[in-house]
Amino acid sequence: MSARVSDWRPTASLETLRLRADLLDTVRTYFREQGVLEVETPALAAAAVTDVHLASLEVRVMGAADRASANANASVGHVAAPRYLHTSPEYHMKRLLAAGSGDIWQAARVFRGEELSHRHNVEFTLLEWYRVNFTLEALVVDIDTLLRRCLAAPRTAQGLPLGPARTLTHREAFLEHAAVDSQTATLEQLLAAAEHHLGKLPAALDDRDTVLDLLLGMVVAPCLGRGEITYLVDWPASQAALAKLRPAIDGTPMTALVAARVEAYLDGLELCNGFEELTDAAEQRERFARDAARREAAGLPVPTMDEHFLAALEHGLPACSGVAVGFDRLAMLAAGTSDIRDVLAFPYDRA
């Protein structure tokens, strides 16, 4: 019997699959109590993501509008314009917000190429939600309340109750765990810190944000959230993504603004990424252009901008904050496992 045929079984136990179902029920109950509308948006998008760290998966679709052309000229093999499996429902959900939806949430299946490890699967589940007129601080309270509700029973059963949450700025976390100032350090100083902690580095590391990401992932993050949920806020402005910029809250000795962005960590595992959302369409277009330039310099595909999303911003996105929580990672913590395969019925290699 071939290995392929024998691997028909799920990698998650039935008990763990029941735990996933219970966690999702807890999430749905929480948002129902809060009056947050559950929505569904397309998994297929007309534009790929511009973020240099994410890889969109392309899908070719023979659409109804193209069948006549394809039949008339079958030798050409005409197909519709490509679509992309979304890496997050963010753009579609913000279009709903601009249309007046109010607070919304969803559990979305998302897809990211080149992500496969004991913490990553190409296809996974995001819990994404948006709260109108919420500051980032209010969003952190919202995230913390939901995470504790989801993790309370399983972690108590394991004898690992959560302590009070801790909030650190990006700069404070880097000073504490990497001995370097993430806001003011030069590229050379960041490279020296990385070599001190990680040894010899590839010569190609010549981008400040790439080195910051390396230090965060390999040095800082593993130290965060030990027995407590740790919220990392006030990110460097160059790593704002889709977040607003604002003055630092910790007296950072610099004149530049910082990003109103938060990530949550527990037991060294990143659980979420959230923003006080950027509502300025012109600024968002500029950020997309900078992403495109970075992708071109790195030899990566350069997607067209999502004009539907930008049009929604131009129409008017209400003041809001939003977050995406990795549901599979939440299930990993609840199940007491460090391998994502243990909480998935059929991971990438068994799909």
Q: What is the CATH number of domain 3-165+228-350?
A: 3.30.930.10
Q: How many CB atoms lie within 10 A of CB 274?
A: 28
Give the model's pLDDT for residue 71. Answer: 55
CB neighbour list of residue 225: distance below 8 Å, 6 or more residues apart: 264, 265, 266, 267, 268, 269
Distance, CA of 7 to CA of 2 (rounded, Å): 9
Give the model's pLDDT for residue 66. Answer: 53
Give the model's pLDDT for residue 76. Answer: 46
- According to DSSP, the residues that pair with 45 across neighbouring strands are 84
* 351 residues of the chain, pLDDT tens digit each: 455 677 899 999 999 999 999 999 999 999 999 999 999 999 999 999 999 889 999 998 876 555 545 555 544 445 578 899 999 999 999 999 999 999 999 999 999 998 799 999 999 999 999 999 999 999 999 999 999 999 986 665 555 678 899 999 999 999 999 999 999 999 999 999 999 999 998 877 888 999 999 999 999 999 999 989 999 999 999 999 999 999 877 666 555 789 999 999 999 999 999 999 999 999 999 999 999 999 998 899 999 999 999 999 999 999 999 999 999 999 999 999 999 999 999 999 999
Give the model's pLDDT for residue 6. Answer: 73
CB neighbour list of residue 309: distance below 8 Å, 6 or more residues apart: 47, 91, 94, 95
Distance, CA of 191 to CA of 206 (rounded, Å): 9
The stretches of the chain forming alpha helices (DSSP H) are 3-6, 14-34, 64-72, 90-98, 136-157, 170-177, 187-198, 208-215, 281-297, 307-316, 327-335
Give the model's pLDDT for residue 251. Answer: 61
pTM: 0.91
Give the model's pLDDT for residue 3. Answer: 56
Give the model's pLDDT for residue 222. Answer: 97
What residues does each domain of the chain span? Answer: 3-165+228-350
Backbone phi, psi, residue 128, to 5° = -120, 135
Q: From the centroid of its chain, how far is CA 327?
A: 11
